[in-house]
Structure 1
Amino acid sequence: MGSAILPPSILQEAADSDSALDKIARLKRVFYGGAPLRPEAGLVISTKTHLCNQIGSTECVVFTTHLTDPTDWDYLCFGADWSGYEFHHTCLPDVFEMVLVRDDNKQNFQAIFGGSQLARFSTGDLYSKHPTKPHHWKYQGRLDDVIILSHGEKLNPISNEDLIGSHPFLSSAMYIGNGRPQPAAILELADRPLETLDDNQIIEAVWPLIEQANASSPSHGQLHRSHLIIADVSKKFLRTTKGTLKRLQTVQLFEPEIRDLYDASVETPKPATQIDITRHDELREFVLKVYRQTTGFGLLQLDEDIFQAGADSLKIQSAISTLKASVFSPDLRLETSWISQKAVYANPTARAMTTFLESLGRPQGALAGAFLDQVGVLQDVYERYRQQLPSREDIPVARAPAPTTTVLLTGSTGNLGSYLLDALLRRNDVDEIICLNRGGDAAERQQKGNAERELCTDFTRINVRFMQVDLSQPLLGLHPVDYDYILSRVTVILHNQWPVNFNFPLSFFEPHMQGVVNLVEFAVQAAHRPYFFFVSSTAAVNNWRRQIDLAQPFYHIPERHFTDLSLASNGYGQSKAIASDLLYYASSQCGLRGGTVRLGQVAGPAMYDGGAWNTNEWLPSLVRTSHTLAALPETIPLLNEVDWIPVDSAAQVIVELALDIPADPADPRRRRLALFNVTNPHPVSWETLLPAVRSCLGGVRIVPFTEWLHLLLKTSAPVRREYRNTDVPALKLLDFFRELEDGHQRGARQTLLQTERTRKLSPCLAKLGPVDESMMVKWLRQWGLQEETLPDNVGLA
């Protein structure tokens, strides 16, 4: 017989019917699509016929695929070479989004671009790779399905929903939790008599499957018994005619049940005991007990970091609730709002949290004493690493200058790292580039990432080597032969590898500070005594504003090194500040030469059409959310002066500073360790860019920032929390935007970087013009923001 195209719902019923399976066995092939097919049904049917997956969309019609082997029935094999289908990294590990890149030579496979000026189309469809076969991809749902919890962690629930929903008592399961501290699930009952079972009995029956789902989920994605909703039999999930779940509409249908569940979960618990914060010993023991419960590690010590001991952003919510409910002061009313996620990240040991809680009981709100304690902690961390730096007598005599230039680049596969590599590849005076990255597949990722960004992918003209490293380990985690090789070759170090996360405490960055110590040791032992250039951040000096006249409209940070660690903000900035101080010390004690680049806000590319400004950052999130709210802020407090530097320009400037070493001994780069401020030297006001942004967003309203923030807060209310994540991404940064407004109300001013000296040394920076409307239009298009792409729920304000 021939072949058949059948919806998954029919195939799932057929898998339980011997007569239906007999008929299917007579078919040469069976194609399915439009919705997932449960694994147990697919396995049965794939033994009877050649089962083949198909996929399409309204915009793209049917995607062109190859037939897969019978055992790969749940994979799709895309002809990447002739179709223009690409798979880009997402916020989820090992999950990729399909993106169609326009190629007029492939128009037979790219219906989406017919009659359109689009350069690329992001499908929103998510896939994972086949473990062994190239071009084979398993469908994992849509970006809209991804749940973003209130602390920023992300969860793709599709496979877990399929697993839990396969229980005979259930028709489906749906995870929820956008904007909430932890996920929950709604369980839809099957069309079978279950009147004799109550909700607890149903949960007990389904619980083994939930445990199985939890076992394959990250800790922030765990389902708890308290966060399960049994749907009333009269209330069914909403679906399309193909049977696909209408997630947003179903969440709105169950909004009362969802609100009640989360309201009950956030009620302040009644503590078994009340802890007086003026009784130091009792408070310390209580905090230690709470932290031990949080980590599940009963031997946790006072000075051990709870995050290194296994705590995560979900687990600390319980600790916060317990501490808020338990502590009191006999002398004054405590402002327990200070006990927050940020406070736990800043005080990750029981001893530090005890000191913090004690400071809440002091008049004038606590934080002066806590601030001084924090500065002491920073100084202690600095001293610990400083003592590991090599002494002058341990440094060998350098050989003669190398006849060739070999650059050691760390973190080449990241966003800035990719542009740094591209800038190096375009130089005629670079003979070899050694790329050090944490991942073992760096060469493949680099090739793909550079291609996506339309950067150079020819790694043969200049010899490019990729090595997997752990900079915190001896010999940088390299084999001794590889370590000896780079010791003998390297003439310039560009240290760019550093995780960007403003939530994590200083302790999270300790391996990276150790990496700086190890790279210094490498630099002073290397045959040609390489120049060392470190990419730092304005976060290392964000608090400079505290030291100058508040009457000034802006704070201009000078082009010099600061040893005051209190100028740094958050763990990320503190780690960068300590790293810069270590290099500054090494320059005087070990003869280290080079520079620290204090980098400002990096924007999207200016010269390249590929690549894009990371959509998780604050400006893309603000613009995307404004798109949804149909309202754009007329000013941005503390960020209104736009001094952003395009990522390709930033990379070019850094490479110029690192490689164009002049003969003039008066130049700061000839001295030991220079400091360079790298940002756009020609700031413009946000208001000058508003017309272009407003035009791309379809003529949205221009509103005061306070009104925009109010509209954002409205979307975080329970009835609104299940709008698509991609439409209101600023909710993930709600605290950030609140702090901007609060700082403005307190009279704070924006911080800008002075660049006079750096401009004299970098032709690229000297020629760089201000951010203009054409750049903004390009970046908005790269984010897929055009008038014709307005979301269905636009104007929810």
Structure 2
Amino acid sequence: MGLAQENRYASIDQLIRDRAKTHADEPILSYADEHGDFQTFTGTDVEQLTRTAATAYRKALPEKKGHFRVALVGVSSFEYYIAFFALQRMGLTSMFISPRLADQAFEHLLTATGCEVVVAAETSMGTMERVCKTNGSLAAVIPLLDMRSLLALEPEDAPMVPVTVVGKQEFIIHSGGTTGLPKPVVLSPSAWLAQAADVAARMPRADTLTTLPLFHSFGLATLLRCLVNGTTLAILNAKRPITASIIISSIEATFSTALVTVPYILKFFTEIPGGVERLASLTQVIAAGSAIPNDLAEVLLSKKTRIYHLYGLTEAGALMEAWSTDFRWVTPLAHAAPFLKFEPVGEDLFHLVVMPGLPAKVYSNRGDGSYATKDVFRPHPTEPGMWRFVTRQDDIIVMMNGEKADPTPLEEAVSRNANVRAAVVFGAERDALGMIVIASAAAKMLSMQGILDSIAADLDLGNSRVAGYARISREAVIIKPAGTSFPRTDKDTVIKPRFLELFAADIEEYYEARAQARATNELAVVSDDEVALTVRRIVAKAMNLSTVDDEADLFALGMDSLQASHVRSGLVRSIDLHSATLTTNVVFEHANISRLTRHLLDLRQGLSTQQDAPEALAQALIAKYSHFTSPSHGTVTEGPPCVLLTGVTGAVGSHLLYNLVLNPAVAQIYCPVRAPNSSTARTRIHLALQHARLLPHLKPTTCLSKIVALPCDFAAPNLGLPASLIAQFASTLTHIIHNAWSVNFNHSLRNFEMHSIRSTHFLLTLAASSLRSQKPTVTFVSSIAAALCAQPAHAIPEALHPWSAVAAMGYAQSKWVAEHMVAAAAKNAQVPARVVRLGQVCGDTEWGVWNSAEAFPATVQAAWTIGSLPLVEGERDDEEESWLPVDIAAKALAQVALAPEQDKSTFHVLHLVNEAPILWNAQFLPCLRKHGLEFEAVPQQEWVRRLEASEQDVHLNPPFKLLEFFKTRYASTQGASQPKFDTTCARKWAPCLQGGVNISEELIGKFLQYWSQGNQAKSC
């Protein structure tokens, strides 16, 4: 039973306190950094962070008596979420304000709600300072705590006083301002939390990735639903563009099985290979904000995508849910049905009105207390109670991305021009708006271009009065000649539905030309130089900049989706792509001028549309990061072994640190850890040792005192370490062991440059520039994946291999690049270097601690969840598993890293793999049965079918999280021979590997006991 059905909450404070108990060590939030790496936050983390943030905000807020309201202005970042939680826990009302509003709209919202304090993100501070000058009631604007500042705060030990006056700390969200100024809508936390519980109870429990901002009412509803239900909500980085590839990699990285987004984003998936299929593999795809265009709906339905299309309003909450057979039709939710009235407004058309009495309804616009939604529906011809959204009763245009645009300011501004008879904006369910202008008799002697020139200033005026997404470029104006007839009333008012119907062909032709056709008045670019120049010109024009650097990130420069759309249109009109097409999101997929130019040239030449050719990129990275300078002769000779060790918070790293600490010859171990300060870095190290059950064996005075925790940022130059420390390392470091790496098997090679490859270059440079007479020995922990596809006559040798040997995934390719960088440092800078390719690591021999989220443990958990395990089929009807216990692997790594040079060579490659493999079918499965595990052994593809048909809640059925991986792993029954790796050098350098390591029945029993503890905890 889900948590949503067990508890009802009156406040955010109560909910966060409860999650700190129920999810003390389980993630409830996950947020991506600017490089796409996700950091998870447990219930305990969120409770502590919000308590600490509340203390900081309390000090920053002006002293006011009683209850007051605080506005939040900024993009929907992790800091924004924490600020919302903190304000709620302080008992204050939080008002979400979109950062895209005009100054007049900000002033109106602050005045209408009596809000006197604004917490603003850095990017919104300038805007709010302007508003301050014109709004005398605004008492304070304080900065939003950024991520680094937030995590650097000293943890608040004092407990918060529970919120007891329920109803005071409201939420305030605002309408889009599409019919004038935005209106504030006050929401009750208890009502919205109750609604979240009701909705959660109707949906499969699933960890969810959201693309919606928190100031979007459905974004807020999604957060509350996940919190109430006890599932993890993953949030994309607010500073990065939203692309299909980013969403897919984020789904994989967070193991999310549900996606919450808008129809506009869903369209991106139809434009990449396998995109819709990946959507269809999710437990649910929740679309909000606007109707899904019919063509897109047909594609999604054809792939059996599980769309959950919820219809609701900020003013009244969730009202209708999608029909299970066809998500384009909705039916009233049980709690809302008695309060929904469909008023006839035309033939087969009905206007939805929400009647008084619905608990979630907080706004009325009729005298009887009802709320007229202005949404028009059509009933299903054969299924009573099923409705399909048709249009807005008023003139509001609902765009494809869910934005609601009011055309009135634009139409009024242009219509006042003497050369204009009528001006009508179009763009429903499109990604950008356009306008049809009927010329007046006064313009009879003007050319089409002359008419367009004459209204340019009026169009600019109209654009200044609407949000950025609703602006119209000159290229989007269709001019119809004077005398063109159009539908109008007796009062000479345009009848818009009939007007748009009359000119539907013109509108369709415009969008087709915008998407694919070449403008007849522009020449197709033919030379490579002209392509680059044209891209620069189009980008600069769209962004209203004089110049744009070729390598500058366009999104970081402030490009929005409308500008990206204009750039794409300009590229299509200006550059002959020889029948190739540009994807809708091409500008953000190739987000600087250099990459965009290269992509266009590849398309023109009929080359692969992949963003980077992996081998060429790999060679370019090696060339870029293989230059090292070093002093001619080092002079420092004194000092005991001093080690710099990265990656200490992982399983291998914590055991490796344990081995080094216990080695009496090692004086100091410096441990760079991703953290904002030394205290947090030290805590992370201790937690990793505690998880591995190693901390109790280390004495604080003699062992832990050797560890120096260094807060760092692996994406920053020099890891973000101070220059004084780097200078100290030049004379003290004797060994560098590089074990840290981004572990994401879905990232492309380029994704590893910033965090992993660049940091490797820094460490190699550190060794090369050492002042010691004997340069520090560098040990790089690689992976057998870097040579997995080598095909020697016998065993894969302990040596560097060509590109053809590397496994076809970014993780393996990045390790291959780093291996060649290490070899270059050894050759060109005389750095003693060892590349250690590590094989499959399993749990330790003492406790059997093996992360249950990994593939093999997750497979075994299926015995508890679906009652079966796979029988592997292959050329020998079995599979060898070369598992190396993590404590043995760490001991071997320590022996290799600290060993003196064995010969005159400065570069060595070693394979740390277990030469005593275990057979899955013949040995491992029977051993599990001996230890009491009950299961049915079934052929591998049958097992995958059973898993696919089983419980989709990954909290109750963890193996389901890896369903796509298992589909790939067990797709073929032909099997493949397991490559054999030569270990001659490794056995000589690491004596603990001699003869292999026996994966005994006793050890398997320890694994099983450890996994069963986690399984029992989940079932409690």
Alignment counterpart, residue 613 of structure 1, candidates 824, 845, 851: 851
Does the 8 Å CA contact 2:790/2:801 hold for their aligned counterparts?
Answer: no
Deviation at 1:275, TM superposition (A): 8.5
Comparing 724-733 and 753-762, the one that deviates more: 724-733
Q: Which residue pairs with 2:759 in the alignment?
A: 515
Alignment partner of 1:37 is 2:271: no
Residues 86/685 of structure 1: CA separation in 2 closer, same or farther (3 Å cut):
same
Residues 75/207 of structure 1: CA separation in 2 closer, same or farther (3 Å cut):
closer
Residues 132/506 of structure 1: CA separation in 2 closer, same or farther (3 Å cut):
same
Alpha-carbon distance in structure 1 between the residues aligned to 2:626 and 2:219: 52
Alignment counterpart, residue 383 of structure 1, candidates 623, 631, 636: 623
Alpha-carbon distance in structure 2 between the residues aligned to 1:702 and 1:658: 42
Deviation at 1:358, TM superposition (A): 7.7
Alignment counterpart, residue 1010 of structure 2, candidates 756, 779, 782: 782
Alpha-carbon distance in structure 2 between the residues aligned to 1:356 and 1:729: 42
Residues 296/396 of structure 1: CA separation in 2 closer, same or farther (3 Å cut):
farther
Deviation at 1:130, TM superposition (A): 5.6
Does the 8 Å CA contact 1:395/1:590 hold for their aligned counterparts?
Answer: no
Cα distance per residue 1:304-338 (max 9 Å; x no partner): 78999999xxxx9xxxxxxxxxxxx9999x9x99x
Q: Which residue pairs with 2:708 in the alignment?
A: 465
Letter in 1 for 2:616: G
Does the 8 Å CA contact 1:411/1:495 hold for their aligned counterparts?
Answer: yes
Alignment counterpart, residue 533 of structure 1, candidates 776, 779, 787: 779
Q: Which residue pairs with 1:524 in the alignment?
A: 768
Q: Which runs of 5+ in 2 are unaligned?
A: 32-38, 55-80, 86-93, 97-169, 174-185, 225-232, 243-259, 263-287, 291-308, 313-317, 321-331, 337-385, 388-399, 402-428, 432-510, 519-523, 565-576
Does the 8 Å CA contact 1:96/1:128 hold for their aligned counterparts?
Answer: no
Secondary structure, counterpart of 2:686 in structure 1: helix
Q: Which residue pairs with 1:750 in the alignment?
A: 978
Alignment partner of 1:543 is 2:789: yes
Alignment partner of 1:443 is 2:668: no
Deviation at 1:281, TM superposition (A): 9.2
Alpha-carbon distance in structure 2 between the residues aligned to 1:621 and 1:310: 43
Q: Which runs of 5+ in 1 are unaligned?
A: 1-7, 10-32, 43-52, 56-73, 100-124, 135-154, 186-202, 239-255, 258-263, 317-328, 550-554, 793-797
Alpha-carbon distance in structure 1 between the residues aligned to 2:525 and 2:957: 45
Alignment counterpart, residue 955 of structure 2, candidates 703, 706, 726: 726
Alignment partner of 1:678 is 2:912: yes
Q: Which residue pairs with 1:490 in the alignment?
A: 733
Which has the higher relative contact order, 1 or 2, with Cα contacts under 8 A spaced 6 or more apart? 1
Equivalent runs, 1:3-42 vs 2, <5 Å: 34-39=7-12
Alpha-carbon distance in structure 1 between the residues aligned to 2:723 and 2:858: 45
Alpha-carbon distance in structure 2 between the residues aligned to 1:236 and 1:563: 63
Q: Which residue pairs with 2:746 in the alignment?
A: 503
Equivalent runs, 1:576-587 vs 2, <5 Å: 576-587=815-826
Alignment counterpart, residue 658 of structure 2, candidates 422, 438, 445: 422
Residues 34/739 of structure 1: CA separation in 2 closer, same or farther (3 Å cut):
closer
Alignment counterpart, residue 289 of structure 2, candidates 225, 237, 242: 225
Deviation at 1:576, TM superposition (A): 1.3
Residues 422/656 of structure 1: CA separation in 2 closer, same or farther (3 Å cut):
same
Alignment counterpart, residue 588 of structure 1, candidates 827, 832, 853: 827
Q: RMSD between aligned alpha carbons?
A: 6.0
Q: Which residue pairs with 1:105 in the alignment?
A: none
Residues 75/732 of structure 1: CA separation in 2 closer, same or farther (3 Å cut):
closer
Q: Which residue pairs with 2:195 in the alignment?
A: 172
Alpha-carbon distance in structure 1 between the residues aligned to 2:752 and 2:647: 15
Residues 97/581 of structure 1: CA separation in 2 closer, same or farther (3 Å cut):
same
Cα distance per residue 1:197-228 (max 9 Å; x no partner): xxxxxx99x57966998998755866741453
Deviation at 1:541, TM superposition (A): 2.1
Alpha-carbon distance in structure 2 between the residues aligned to 1:371 and 1:626: 41
Deviation at 1:127, TM superposition (A): 5.5
Residues 791/381 of structure 1: CA separation in 2 closer, same or farther (3 Å cut):
same
TM-score for both structures, normalised by structure 1: 0.60
Q: Which residue pairs with 2:645 in the alignment?
A: 409
Letter in 2 for 1:515: S
Equivalent runs, 1:233-252 vs 2, <5 Å: 235-236=333-334
Alpha-carbon distance in structure 1 between the residues aligned to 2:49 and 2:807: 41
Residues 661/212 of structure 1: CA separation in 2 closer, same or farther (3 Å cut):
closer
Alpha-carbon distance in structure 2 between the residues aligned to 1:126 and 1:773: 41
Secondary structure, counterpart of 1:172 in structure 2: helix
**Percent sequence identity over aligned pairs:** 23
Equivalent runs, 1:197-346 vs 2, <5 Å: 218=237, 224-226=288-290, 228-230=310-312, 235-236=333-334, 273=515
Alpha-carbon distance in structure 2 between the residues aligned to 1:268 and 1:738: 37
Deviation at 1:380, TM superposition (A): 1.4
Letter in 1 for 2:763: L
Letter in 2 for 1:740: R
Alpha-carbon distance in structure 2 between the residues aligned to 1:581 and 1:468: 28
Q: Which residue pairs with 1:654 in the alignment?
A: 893
Does the 8 Å CA contact 2:882/2:915 hold for their aligned counterparts?
Answer: yes
Alpha-carbon distance in structure 2 between the residues aligned to 1:654 and 1:783: 26
Q: Which residue pairs with 2:1000 in the alignment?
A: 772
Deviation at 1:506, TM superposition (A): 2.0
Letter in 1 for 2:187: H
Alignment counterpart, residue 397 of structure 1, candidates 611, 614, 634: 634
Does the 8 Å CA contact 1:433/1:465 hold for their aligned counterparts?
Answer: yes
Q: Which residue pairs with 2:936 in the alignment?
A: 701
Does the 8 Å CA contact 2:768/2:825 hold for their aligned counterparts?
Answer: no
Alpha-carbon distance in structure 1 between the residues aligned to 2:549 and 2:863: 46
Deviation at 1:603, TM superposition (A): 1.6
Does the 8 Å CA contact 2:210/2:219 hold for their aligned counterparts?
Answer: no
Secondary structure, counterpart of 2:846 in structure 1: coil
Does the 8 Å CA contact 1:696/1:777 hold for their aligned counterparts?
Answer: yes
Cα distance per residue 1:453-486 (max 9 Å; x no partner): 2113435314221222345655543223222222
Deviation at 1:538, TM superposition (A): 1.8
Residues 731/300 of structure 1: CA separation in 2 closer, same or farther (3 Å cut):
farther
Alignment counterpart, residue 967 of structure 2, candidates 738, 761, 769: 738
Secondary structure, counterpart of 2:911 in structure 1: strand
Alpha-carbon distance in structure 2 between the residues aligned to 1:453 and 1:625: 24
Paired residues in the alignment total 601
Letter in 2 for 1:613: N
Alpha-carbon distance in structure 2 between the residues aligned to 1:786 and 1:535: 30
Letter in 2 for 1:771: I
Secondary structure, counterpart of 1:675 in structure 2: strand
Who wins on radius of gyration, i.e. which is larger?
Answer: 2
Alpha-carbon distance in structure 1 between the residues aligned to 2:795 and 2:670: 36
Deviation at 1:591, TM superposition (A): 0.6
Deviation at 1:451, TM superposition (A): 2.0
Does the 8 Å CA contact 1:642/1:771 hold for their aligned counterparts?
Answer: no
Residues 354/653 of structure 1: CA separation in 2 closer, same or farther (3 Å cut):
farther
Alpha-carbon distance in structure 2 between the residues aligned to 1:465 and 1:425: 11
Does the 8 Å CA contact 1:568/1:577 hold for their aligned counterparts?
Answer: no
Alpha-carbon distance in structure 1 between the residues aligned to 2:557 and 2:651: 30
Does the 8 Å CA contact 2:863/2:933 hold for their aligned counterparts?
Answer: no
Does the 8 Å CA contact 2:172/2:187 hold for their aligned counterparts?
Answer: yes
Residues 184/307 of structure 1: CA separation in 2 closer, same or farther (3 Å cut):
closer
Does the 8 Å CA contact 1:628/1:790 hold for their aligned counterparts?
Answer: no
Does the 8 Å CA contact 1:644/1:679 hold for their aligned counterparts?
Answer: yes
Cα distance per residue 1:225-259 (max 9 Å; x no partner): 14533455874589xxxxxxxxxxxxxxxxx99xx
Alignment partner of 1:690 is 2:925: yes
